[in-house]
Amino acid sequence: MKRSEKGSVTIEATIVISLVLMLLFGCLGTLLTIFVDTQMEWAVQSASDEMNIIGIPFSDRTDLLRDLMWIKINKQVKNRSINNFVEIRELSYKKVNGHEINMWEVSYDYKFISFAENEKIQVPFKTGNENDGLKFESSTVYITTYGEKYHMEQCFHLRKSKFPIDLDEALKKGYEPCKNCHKNIESR
Ligand SMILES: [Zn+2]
């Protein structure tokens, strides 16, 4: 075999190997994207289902509802070992058969290899009041001795002092979500 032929064989082999590798990574990326997408949809759906039993009128406490939703989605996401950005935006609400049906837009980002995408899901859930037999549900957040923010359990701001408080109570007392542990919550 001549020298030039040997060279062209090497080049061809390199091209073939590159193409195979590209195809392989492409497939892997697509699979991962589908996997995360499905997991996120489950997380949002589970959170939305839980929100269905919250018995407070929408118009009264949008702040509480949104923060609860955010906490619930993030718990679900953590349970599924996915690290994503979840952002919740309030969309609209309407009354159906005396129930207030709320539509929320939930956006999330994910990044795998070279894939970066932003997905949006609309989440309907209904609220009512105690007369409908709905029970009120809240969530525990944490405050510090002197701070004016409330935190999620793992936040580094809680290394010096950490007192559990009901989210509803924290909001009523004027505490605001910490920017570190609630970085993707829409600011008021
Ligand atoms: Zn915090």
Ligand 1: centre distance to CA 172 (Å)? 18
Reported as a single tens digit per residue, the pLDDT across 1-59 is 555 666 677 888 899 999 999 999 888 878 877 877 787 778 777 777 777 655 555 55
Report the interhelical angle of 62-79 vs 3-51 (nearest 10°): 130
Percentage of the chain lying above the pLDDT 70 cut = 59
Ligand 1: centre distance to CA 65 (Å)? 19
Amino acid, single-letter form, for residue 136: F
- Where exactly are the structural domains of the chain? 1-136, 138-188
Ligand 1: centre distance to CA 108 (Å)? 20
- Yes or no: say if 158 and 151 are a contact pair by the CB < 8 Å rule: yes
Ligand 1: centre distance to CA 156 (Å)? 7
Amino acid, single-letter form, for residue 7: G
Ligand 1: centre distance to CA 1 (Å)? 69
